[in-house]
Amino acid sequence: MQQKSFLFFLKNKKIAVESRKKLLNKKILTLKIKKMDIPQNILTAVNEWLTPTFDTETQNAIKEMMTSSPKNLEESFYKNLEFGTGGMRGVMGVGTNRINKYTLGKNTQGLSNYMLQVFPGKQLKVAIAFDCRHNSDTLAKVVADVFSANGIHVYLFSDMRPTPELSFALKYLGCQAGIVLTASHNPPEYNGYKVYWEDGGQLVPPQDAAIINVIEALRYDEIKFESNPDLIEYIDEVIDAAFVKSSVENASFNTPAAAKDNLSIVFTSLHGTSIKAVPQTLAKAGYTNVNIVPEQAVPNGDFPTVKSPNPEEPEALTMALALADQVHADIVIGTDPDCDRLGVAVRNTEGKMMLLNGNQTMVMMTAFLLEQWKKQGKINGKQFIGSTIVSTPMMMELATGYGVECKIGLTGFKWIAKFIKDFPELQFIGGGEESFGFMVGDAVRDKDAVAATLLICEVAAQAKANGSSVYKELLNLYVDYGFYKEHLVSLTKKGIEGLQEINQMMVDMRENPVKEINGQRVILLEDYKTSTAKNLLTGEIETMAVPKSDVLIYYTEDGAKIAARPSGTEPKIKFYVSVNAPLDNVANFSQVEATLDQNIKNILHDLNII
């Protein structure tokens, strides 16, 4: 009996000693952090992540940063990741400002709590997809585990899929919400979390704020990570087939088989998910002359053959353009990793390949859709096209020309999707934005490079069959509706200091607006943060009935438009410039373009952007 008591005493003494050691180590770590002069809010967050709520691997990574990379520690914890125009994106790693199982787990737990609140007594269902990025598959499974732990049925794609297929699947399966793990075209170290609601579109106010409030009120120890395997159902071929069928039905317009055969296409998936759907869709639509860039057809989260997997960047299509010259292709199409944006290159009047910008492809596809609807007698004034405040004003001219509405929303396709929901009495024809995204009809309520790829091929095939080309048809549109030319400047400002610099640039432009640009008076300043439009000539201020956003737009008396906007998903501030002039004849294109190019250059100089 005495021996048992003695052993019990030794055991408890050992536990007590180990507990004191852990407490001492924690105090030492805390002292080390304090010596770095790190703000208290960061100290509090770091200490929380050193508790047993977080796994050993996470705690060890934090301790390593304390000793080897204090700056990285501060960057990882100085704020919580926020939802931007494309959901939540960030660098993968430990910390509140990083993408990891805990930040995404907290999002998912909050979303689960919200769904259970707004859909009481209903068997809830969610769909989850993921892209080709590092950890996307494992993070998707974590998200599925949390949903299932909360009694929510999960449809989880068995492999990577394009983002637009998630929007389609959500509606097809009758889900209340959907998640895509993706960071679009961001660098390899990024990942992200996009939330869709039951209409198939991304979250919009006020619902997004309500969900964020639920998430922020949660503690990390409230996350339910324990999976219920019975509630996780894997999906693949059945949804794939339905998605491809829908894409073909929505983006095909009676192009003759001979015209399809005569169109030579080069396609690159840029190591992304589109390889799972675009070739299949083109084949089902009857396009047989498709040349895929083989080196970029294999999904790879490192994107090894490009500096950036962004089809907005000409460099990303270098290999595709080289293949196009080898096979004498008519058109080159490249999609970003999650297949919601597409870059298009076509041959100009000299036979050389040139990359169209997002505004040009949007205008071409929209004009084609409008013409097809007109031929079919489907336009009666109860239709609309959609675009965004930083995209080309030429979309308004197209709408007027065809007798339809053009609804302009904030940056991001969630606003175009919201128009569809808010105006059920109107038919949505199509729409896009300058950042190389386009949406055809209502089957998918997000930008969709699968249907858009097929649509631009329809445009090209029919133009070629009629002795024209995509480029020639674009010039004809400039003659009919005015020559609009746009230019984007994107400045990267990373880290805490970068964010401060971006904020200060916006403050300066608000508080000290320029009065003259390129020799033209600024006549109007729209401030979407305050929802006001100020006439700088009369001082009159009007209220704009739009959601608030950190965007400023200057308008000059000659019709130029200059917008400034911090990116919602990247450490960047973007400046969008649009200028225009009449074009009376295609023969005068080069001369008018030179004038517009000079105007753009002058504007950038006057605003000290270059």
Neighbours of 441 (CB within 10 A): 21
Q: Structure tokens of 172?
A: 């097809």
Contact 600, 561 (CB under 8 A): no
d(CA 385, CA 433): 11
Can you point out the beta strands (E) in 226-361?
A: 232-235, 265-268, 290-292, 331-335, 342-347, 353-355
Q: Give the relative orientation of helices 101-118 and 207-216 as an angle to the nearest 10 degrees.
A: 120
**Matching residue, tokens 């197209």:** 398
d(CA 447, CA 423): 19
In 3D, which of 430, 426, 455, 456 has the Cα closest to residue 443? 430
The reply to whether 184 belongs to the active site is: yes
d(CA 300, CA 309): 11
**Matching residue, tokens 């536990």:** 15
- Considering the candidates 136, 148, 167, 184, report the single residue annotated as catalytic: 184
Burial of 22 per CB tally in 10 Å (0-12, 13-18, 19+) = exposed
In 3D, which of 88, 200, 108, 196 has the Cα closest to residue 149? 108
Alpha helices in 173-290 (DSSP H): 207-216, 237-251, 257-261, 278-285
In 3D, which of 326, 408, 318, 316 has the Cα closest to residue 362? 408
Neighbours of 91 (CB within 10 A): 19
Going from the C-alpha of 185 to that of each of 182, 214, 271, 283, 302, the distances in angstroms are 9, 29, 11, 26, 11
Going from the C-alpha of 104 to that of each of 140, 180, 313, 488, the distances in angstroms are 9, 12, 30, 32
Torsion 514-515-518-522 (CA) sign: positive
d(CA 487, CA 477): 19
**Strand 437-440's sheet: what is its strand order?**
405-409, 383-388, 427-433, 437-440
Tell me whether the omega of the peptide bond preceding residue 70 falls within 30 degrees of 0, making it cis. Answer: no
Torsion 334-338-339-342 (CA) sign: negative
3-state DSSP percent of the chain in helix, strand and coil, to 5: 45, 20, 35
Q: Which residues pair with 533 in a beta bridge?
A: 526, 542
Contact 609, 575 (CB under 8 A): yes
Residue type, 385: I
* Residues classed as catalytic: 184
